[in-house]
Amino acid sequence: LREAPFVNSRRQVLSGAVASAGAGALWRSEASADPLEIGSIGEPVISGGPLPLTVGLGTGPPYAQKYVELAIDAGYRLFDTAQEYGSETGIGNALKAAFVAGKLKRKDVFVTTKVEIDNMGYEPTIQSVRESLENLGNLEGGIDLVLIHWPCPFVPKYEPGAIAKYSKLRRQTWEALERLRQDGVAKQIGVSNFGPRHLKELLAYAKVRPVVDQVEVHPYNQRVELEKLVKSQGIRFEAYSPLGKNAIGLLEDPVLMGIANQKNKSVAAIIFRWLLQRGITPIPLSRNEKRLKENLDVFDFALTDDEMRAIAKLDRGQFVLTDDEKLA
């Protein structure tokens, strides 16, 4: 088993519905719930609706307004940001310009942001998410989805007293998100980087259940057990760093390259399609206009059962970032 070293600093990381034609029977993993509960691949983006099963746009730092505008023109309608990324204002400005120009309607756009680690706690969360709404151009009806970015600062669970300390901080932060949802600042709320332990803890006290868990998922880190838990609770699953941040050789993997050659698609498209057929929404990051378009080229083909099984065998539990189960 290989994994990234434990990270002690703040993380820097990083979906658009496109009209799609169905491509044959869709493979679903054993962890998948009823397809109607998961969603349909390429389903339309609806502001405030369920997280759509499509390809979205990650906007990790730095991500300027011009790249968001390119993504809008390419067809993206699902946008992921976070307070720590510094891209909220760029997204807000790009969306506002697109609304004024008639390129987009608010009802067809889904925007996610996340509460930064330093803003966890009841009052800081309330204040920071209200500021996020302003940064995003005071989106009509509020922010579509607000997540807790990480379950805690990068503190290991074996540190004395850490689990008790940060369990309390998580609960305060979640109660703030419930209030923001009640006040209309956020349409929906959820979590990011919550593994099974953190998620079960939250579900034990949450008055409003999380609608999404966003974590690192790619062929070398498939998170099958977490997928089973998430889907058993009716929570949608979202994948950041679906290409492993181009740091672990996924794009050169011979199994993935073989499938890509056979399908006449890019390896990235194969990975995004693999995620979608598992009922997982991928949010890749790109600033390249050609690649932004290529990343949406996933709706006119399907992977076979044998191809899905071949990719499933690539799992090695390898984290590019931090193993969330190691956190307090």
CA torsion 250-253-255-258 (nearest 10°) is 100
Do residues 111 and 133 make contact, with C-beta atoms less than 8 angstroms apart?
no
d(CA 32, CA 19): 24
Do residues 129 and 161 make contact, with C-beta atoms less than 8 angstroms apart?
no
Q: Where are the beta strands (DSSP E) in the chain?
A: 57-58, 78-80, 110-115, 145-148, 189-192, 212-216, 236-240, 280-282
The CB density around residue 137, as the number of other CB atoms within 10 Å, is 18
Has 205 been annotated as catalytic?
no
Each residue of 146-183: b (16+ CB within 10 Å) or e? Answer: bbbbbbbbbbeeeeeebbeebbebbbebbbbbebbbee
Residues near 2 by Cβ (< 8 Å), separated by ≥ 6? 316, 317, 318
Q: Angle 262-263-268 (CA atoms, 0-180°, nearest 5)?
A: 110
Q: Of 63, 85, 220, 240, which is the active-site residue?
A: 85
Closest CA to 146 of 227, 220, 80: 80
Q: Active-site residues: which are they?
A: 85
